[in-house]
Amino acid sequence: MGQNTGIKRKGYERASLLLGELFEVDSDITEQINRCIQQYGAGGFFKNLEAFDFTGDVIEKLKAVRMVLFGMGEEFITDIQKHKEPKGGAKL
């Protein structure tokens, strides 16, 4: 179990660094993202973005990432959380 936690921590650190590079933010914001992801997990972090003390610009960018990760709208996030196929089916 300890090894699994270490693997998750390293993955979250890498994700935070990549988000910081993508957003071109300073290391303080990258570290804040990392702390939030470590504390709430990736799903909890993206589900509760508005609860964190980020600037409006960073929140909007994180919302865009959330949409890419979980679907193109709030209705898709709900379907994914329930493990259902999105309404209308996936179209490529």
Domain that holds residue 75: 2-81
Is 59 contained in some domain?
yes
Is 21 contained in some domain?
yes
Is 18 contained in some domain?
yes
Q: Per-residue b/e over 64-86, b at no fewer than 16 CB within 10 Å?
A: ebbeeebbeeeebbebeeeeeeb
Domains in the chain, number: 1
Is 87 contained in some domain?
no
Is 77 contained in some domain?
yes
- pTM of the complete model: 0.66
Instruction: Give the pLDDT score at 1.
Output: 53
Q: pLDDT digits over 28-73, tens only?
A: 999 999 999 999 998 899 999 999 999 999 999 999 999 888 775 5
Is 88 contained in some domain?
no
